[in-house]
A and B are shown apart, each in its own frame.
Chain A
Amino acid sequence: MADPMKIRAQLKGDVAEIRVLMSHAMETGQRKDAAGATVPAHFIQSMTIDVGGKRVVDGQVGGSVSRNPVFGFKMKGAKAGDKVVVSWIDNKGEKRTDEAAVA
């Protein structure tokens, strides 16, 4: 299981800023290791953010997103204390879900 995500959701006026740091190797499948062998592709393919039980962001991701991806989004209508649930699934079927609250 991959390491937990870092999720920060902060209200600034009526806009909530959501930032997520995922811990993932994000191998493209094109890089070669020291011995010259191709490192197999291993990257996050889908990610979703739900706030207060509603889907806010539905994202699809390719191997060209940097290692340990950071994503930032903004939304209106969130209240302090709303639960933020972030999930991802990678190309090997591994997945991870973490939660935070809007602050």
Chain B
Amino acid sequence: MNTTRRTVLKGATASGVLAGLIAAGALRPTQVLASEWNKAAFEAKDTAGALKGIGAAAPADSKDLVLKVPDIAENGAVVPVDVVSNIPKTTSIAILVEKNPSPLCAQFEFSNGALPEASARIKMGQTSMVKAVAKADGKFYTAQKEVKVTVGGCGG
């Protein structure tokens, strides 16, 4: 038996099926692919390193960046964070917790009509400053607020 011919036939069938699926919209490569994870920024052990990792080494303080966090979080495992940027042309928002082992929590990029707002729930190891960093028109802005984390939930 001609094995080469078999292999070629099999290969042809498989790729044919795949092409058909892509054409039919069953596989949408562009929608599944997100931008590559910024390992350096997320694995940075201090805030300066994390800021450097996202390209925001020295962000300017801004009152137009509104960070909403609780003053006291009884459960450090679930701290609600809400960030709204009123800075024109804001394209991305990042959330950092200064005293977490890896300060960078998340970064969101906005496009196609998304408003520069994000809310998430994050973990905090201890009482710390929570920082929001927004990128607008190529510049970085920041706002921060302290959240007290109550260990054991007894109100300390």
Question: What residues make up the interface of A, taking CB atoms closer than 8 Å to B?
Answer: 15, 26, 28, 30, 45-48, 50-51, 54-67, 69-78, 85, 87, 89, 91, 95, 97
Q: A65-B122, A74-B117 are in contact. Are A87 and B105 (CB under 8 A)?
A: no
Q: Is the interface of A mostly helix, strand, loop or mixed?
A: strand
Q: A28-B123, A57-B109, A72-B118 are in contact. Are A67 and B32 (CB under 8 A)?
A: no
Q: B97 at the A/B interface (Cβ < 8 Å)?
A: yes
Q: Is the CB of A64 within 8 A of B97?
A: yes
Q: A57-B108, A59-B107, A64-B102 are in contact. Are A48 and B121 (CB under 8 A)?
A: no
Q: Which residue of A lies closest to B78 (CB)?
A: A66
Measured CB to CB, the closest approach of chain B to A92, in angstroms, equals 12
Q: Is the CB of B118 within 8 A of A64?
A: no
Residues of B within 8 A of A46 (CB): 34-35, 37
Residues of A within 8 A of B119 (CB): 70-73
CA distance A43 to B30 in the complex (A): 22
Q: Is the CB of B123 within 8 A of A57?
A: no
